[in-house]
Amino acid sequence: MTDAAASPDKITGPTPDTAIRDAERADGPMVAADGRPLKQSLNRALRRQKMRALALIAPLLLFILLTFLIPIGQMLFRSVENQIVTDTLPRTVVSISDWDAAGGEPPSQEVFADFARDLTLAAEQRMHTRLGSRLNYEQPGISSLFRQAGRGMTDMGEEVMESLVAAEPAWEEAQTWVDLFGTPDWQAENADWLVLKDEGGMRFSIPPPEFEFRPEAREALPRTADAFADFELFSRVDDIESVAEETPWPLVHVSLAEDLAANPGAVEAFDGETRARLEAVLPVAEAEMPFDYRAAFAEMDEDWLEVSFWETLQTFSTPFTSGYFLTAADRKLTADGVQMVPEDQRIYGTLFLRTMVMSLGITLSCILLGYPVAWLLANLPLRTANVLMILVLLPFWTSLLVRTSAWKVLLQQQGVINDLLVWLNIISDANRLVLINNQTGTIIAMTHILLPFMILPLYSVMKTIPPSYLRAAKSLGATNWTAFWRVYFPQSVPGIGAGSILVFILAIGYYITPEIVGGTRGVFISNRIAFHISTSLNWGLAAALGTILLALVLVLYWLYDRIVGIDNVKLGG
Amino acid sequence: MADTATGTAFVAFERVQKSYDGESLVVKDLNLDMPKGEFLTMLGPSGSGKTTCLMMLAGFETATHGEIKLDGKPINNIPPHKRGIGMVFQNYALFPHMTVAENLAFPLEVRKIGKSEREQKVKRALDMVQMGAFGGRRPAQMSGGQQQRIALARALVFEPELVLMDEPLGALDKQLRESLQFEITNLAHELGITVVYVTHDQTEALTMSDRVAVFDDGRIQQLAPPDELYERPQNSFVAQFIGENNTLEGRVTQISGDACVVQLDNGEEIDATPVNVSGVGDRTLVSIRPERVEIDPQLGPDAHTLKAEVKEFIYMGDTFRTRLSVAGNDNFIVKTRNRADQVRLRPGQHVTIGWLPRDCRALDA
């Protein structure tokens, strides 16, 4: 050795991996050659890769999000959503909260008054029937009550209006009301709009200018202004008419009478012609008041005074409700808390149980029928197995509806199977089997339809079990049965697991087949969901039932994972 | 074969034939006798029928014709699980859902052996293959070599007298294979079991077996101890298949007892030992092992010498491989030991090569 520095192994200055050595000495986190922590460098290197992967799946992700996840989320949200009550009856919801149903008396005149104003606007906007159907889910009969109210509300308080008009005919004129509340600016704007409308003809669609209340008028006659605002809103938005052209609803007149009777001094806030008109009706207003809203409703229908109606309204006056879920669980939300519905109305528990039990039965029969076929497929020479596979897949290429209808032909009492059994003297002509429109029919048809979903995963798992295992077992002294049961079967369990999950989850949500061959006793929960979606239009309940079904499947999936292990589910390989 | 009379053979194949499709025979007229305690290897290229023979012996295939006897009794109609034959497979075939100990206990369980005795036997078998600590593991948690040891222990745990092995080391790397070869032969001899071993690896066959049956085209081409097989191949297939081999084509011109003269296709005449040539005028393949050829021979007066041209010289560490052009054959290989004084030849050099006539065998063409 001459000079240590001249040796090629001697480090004379910093080298690319000096940093690495330093970091190793320092006992800190691993660093890359440039001195940055290794983790950070790795992340940087992988980021591009991740971005590219993300870009590749982005279109599908977006598609699924827009067409699948968001609509499903919205649908599930309907199961708790109840905003229609607060949106349609904003005043009533507030005033009824103090009412106590236990008193056995219908609510006070104030609640009825608020209800009358809310319902009038709702009736004019055609919202009252929707609200009626919503509340009808909770208490049958409410729907028709609301439908009637649609006609009744336009007449409520008519006699008060007539008295006012008799005392001062100007109150029948739309312009009188505009003069009462409208600012001069608005009146000018409105006049321009009326000219535009006359020129515009049929296709004219510009809404009239938004109404501007004179503050002092509003302050003097608060209830009237409030009622008039409802009327104005409806005319402008729903009718596209100016309030200067239409007489307000009778209930607005009632409000005016109420304001004047409560505070005769209010007339001093006005002057000129308007003041004269107000003073003209002052005695009439005092004579007519107070207005009996309860009696007005009772005149339309005695049922408006039923405590149970108001109780339902109060219970479901929150923007979100557990009512649909309770109904789906055969329970009911009452003022006294949650209660079971009467025994003869409990249907959902039975339906859920039936759906579960029958799906389990279908899964079991699929295992029993599919296992031997899958075994044969996995062990036959390729050519034969391929032909057999086509036969297994054949049902996939036939319409579900066609297959189910075919079962109808086969299974009915005068159908092929019964004919055959009678001909073979297995059963007598009088005792033909009832194979359709009951649970048997559903199980037979669905087993047939779902069988491929059992066979395919079983086949692909069995395909991976080398025949040498069975040979090894036999060479070790196991009989054919022992070799199968102790060696082959345990290895095919992942296939059974995968097939069972697939079949069970498909079965639990099946709709068409039970609908066609299930009759009344063989239908599933999904048929009930479909009924609520398309016939009764109770989407909230349908959503609640669907959510429960989804939760059930997830719970079962979780249970399966705990018991069998999801790693044990194989679709092949 | 002559030394084991049919009556005393432990395993016997008698005129066995096998066909899968009814058109062609996979095994053609197989006759084979094995004494007890023998380690016999079936060696041959794939498709030669060796595995089929093993499967017939194990009972997984039925012979189309002929009889297979075990300990004097015909077993053609005995199902595999009643034959009591241990078997080791190429892919180990350890049951993946059972632990090692459960795998080993399986053959004992199906034989209804009591729990304590079972555990004792499992432990002994595991110790036998030096895997005593692995009883609780799953097959997937072990390396290929470890799995094959377990498979071996499982095939031996119920004390069969005959064990069949179907290319058991085929999936392992070279080093592991060599150590396991050694272990398997030792175990077999210690336990005194009879082994039928199938392989296509000739080194394995030569190092492990008492006798080797070389299969080709559904027939045993030669059945002999390894040294005889290598040094005295009976036909050109065996000569080619076992070890490296140089062949020269020619015609027999003289034949007298254990010596003959062969005229090579380029006109040169060489001396050779006749093996299966019947007479003068026969086409023949003359076979010489590469390590029996010397360059610049000093073999004495009996030796036969020829001119040759060096084509290629390959350094292989312990040996040199020289590819020569001899009598029109460009692929004539000579192997020489790497001695201190050994000359390293260059391509294009002309040399003289020589061999003894007894190493030069005239076989069928």
Subunit contact B58:A477, Cβ cutoff 8 A = no
Q: Per the domain annotation, does B73 fall within a domain?
A: yes
Task: Note whether A483 contacts B: Cβ–Cβ < 8 A.
Answer: yes
Environment class of B58 (CB within 10 Å of its CB; exposed 0-12, middle 13-18, buried 19+): buried
Which residue of chain A comes nearest to B155, CA vs CA?
A476
Distance, in Å, from the CA atom of A383 to the CA atom of A390, rounded to the nearest integer, reads: 11
DSSP string, A368-399: HHHHHHHHHHHHS-HHHHHHHHHHHHGGGGS-
- B126 within a domain of the structure (yes/no): yes
Q: Do residue B358 and residue B230 come from a single domain?
A: no
The answer to whether residue A321 is domain-embedded is no
Do A146 and A165 lie in one domain? The reply is no
A535 backbone dihedrals φ, ψ, rounded to 5°: -110, -55
pLDDT at A300: 76
* pLDDT higher than threshold 70 for residue A359: yes
B chain contacts of residue A475, beta-carbon cutoff 8 Å:
58-59, 80-81, 83, 85-87, 155, 164
Structure-token pair, residue B69: 């006897």
**Per-residue pLDDT tens digits for A237-296:** 777 777 677 777 877 878 887 777 777 777 777 777 777 777 777 777 777 777 777 777
Same domain, B266 and B303: yes
Q: Please state which of the ranges A94-103, A235-244, A308-317, B174-183 shows the lowest mean pLDDT.
A: A235-244
What share of chain A in percent tops pLDDT 90?
14
pLDDT of residue B212: 94
Q: How confident is the model at residue A193 (pLDDT cuts 50, 70, 90)?
A: confident
What is the predicted pLDDT for the residue at A296? 75
Residues B262 and B224 placed together within one structural domain of the fold: no
Mean pLDDT in residue range A435-449: 88
Torsion of CA A244, A249, A253, A256, to 10 degrees: -70
Is the pLDDT reported for residue A437 higher than 50? yes
Q: Give the pLDDT confidence of B307-336 residue by residue, as tens digits.
A: 889 999 999 888 889 999 988 888 899 998
* Position B355 in a domain: yes
Is residue A552 pLDDT above 50, yes or no? yes
Separation of alpha carbons A224 and A173, rounded Å? 16
Using a CB–CB cutoff of 8 Å, tell me whether A479 touches chain B: yes
Residue A35 lies inside a defined structural domain of this protein: no
- Kindly tell me the sign of the dihedral angle through the C-alpha atoms of B129, B132, B138, B141: negative
Under 8 Å CB-to-CB from A7, ≥6 apart: which residues? Answer: A1
Sequence-distant (≥ 6) Cβ neighbours of residue A349 within 8 angstroms: A329, A330
How many domains does the structure of chain A reveal? 3
Quick check: A124 pLDDT over 80? Answer: no
Q: In this predicted structure, what is the pLDDT of residue A136?
A: 82
Q: Does residue B19 form part of some domain?
A: yes
pLDDT attached to residue A201: 66
B238 — phi, psi (to 5°)?
-65, -45
How many angstroms separate the first and last alpha carbons of chain B? 26
> Same domain for B132 and B43?
yes
Chain A CB contacts of B89 under 8 Å are: 468, 471-472
Which residue, chain included where needed, has tokens 């006539």? B357
Inspect the interface and report whether the beta carbons of B96 and A491 lie closer than 8 Å.
yes
Q: Which one, of A301, A316, A294, A315, lies nearest residue A105 by Cα? A: A294
Q: What is the pTM of this model?
A: 0.73
The distance of A482 to chain B (nearest Cα, Å) reads 8
Whether A110 is covered by a domain: the verdict is yes
Say if the Cβ atoms of B95 and A477 lie within 8 Å. no
Q: Which of A476, A482, A567, A570 to mutate to test the interface with B (most CBs of B within 10 A)?
A: A476
Taking each helix axis from N to C terminus, what angle separates A489-508 and A348-379, rounded to the nearest 10 degrees? 140
pLDDT for position A245 = 74
Any domain includes A393: yes
Identify the domain containing residue A166 by its residue range.
Answer: 158-290
Q: What percent of chain A has pLDDT over 70?
A: 91
Residues B252, B225: one domain? no
Q: Does A475 touch chain B (CB under 8 A)?
A: yes
How far is A107 from A307, CA to CA, in rounded Å? 8
Separation CA A61–CA A67 (nearest Å): 10
* A283 or B293, higher pLDDT: B293
Amino acid present at A241: E
pLDDT of A366 reads 95
Instruction: Give the tens place of pLDDT for each residue, A469-494.
Output: 999 999 999 999 999 999 999 999 88
What mean pLDDT is reported for chain B? 88
DSSP assignment of B113-131:
--HHHHHHHHHHHHHHTT-
Scan residues 139-168 of B and list those with Cβ closer than 8 Å to A: 154-155, 158, 164
Residue A572 pLDDT class (50, 70, 90 cuts): low
More confident residue, B80 or A110: B80
Residue A405 and residue A523 in one domain: yes
Domain that holds residue B330: 245-364
- Flag whether A538 is in a domain: yes
Arithmetic mean of pLDDT, A561-573: 66
Q: Does A207 have pLDDT greater than 60?
A: yes
Q: pLDDT tens across B92-123, in order?
A: 899 999 999 999 999 999 999 999 999 999 99
How close B4 gets to chain A, by Cα (Å)?
A: 27
pLDDT of A5 reads 44
Instruction: Identify the CA nearest to A168 among candidates A238, A260, A87, A77.
Output: A260
The CA distance from B177 to B171, in Å, is 9
Strand order across the B211-216 sheet:
B85-88, B162-166, B194-199, B39-43, B211-216, B219-224
B250 interface with A at CB cutoff 8 Å: no
- Interface check for A485 against chain B (CB to CB < 8 A): the answer is no
pLDDT at residue B151 is higher than 80: yes
Same domain, B149 and B297: no
Within an 8 Å CB–CB cutoff, is residue A449 touching chain B? no
Name the residue with tokens 């009764």.
A536
For residue A4, pLDDT over 50 is answered with no
Q: How far is B80 from chain A (nearest CA, A)?
A: 6
| A206-210, B29-33, B133-137, B140-144: least confident range | A206-210
Confirm whether A553 is domain-assigned: yes
Domain boundary, last residue among B236, B267, B287:
B236
pLDDT mean over A230-236: 79
Residue B1 lies in a domain: no
Q: Is the pLDDT of residue A386 over 50?
A: yes
| Statement to judge: residues B192 and B255 lie in one domain | no
Whether B232 and B250 share a structural domain: no
**Interval A522-545 mean pLDDT:** 87
DSSP characters over A323-355: HHHHHHTTEEEETTEEEEPPGGG--HHHHHHHH
Contact across the interface for B93 and A468, Cβ inside 8 Å? yes
B158: closest chain A residue by CA: A476
Structure confidence by residue, pLDDT tens digits, B208-222: 999 999 999 889 999
Q: What is the mean pLDDT of residues A17-35?
A: 64
Average pLDDT in chain A: 81
The ipTM assigned to this model is: 0.82
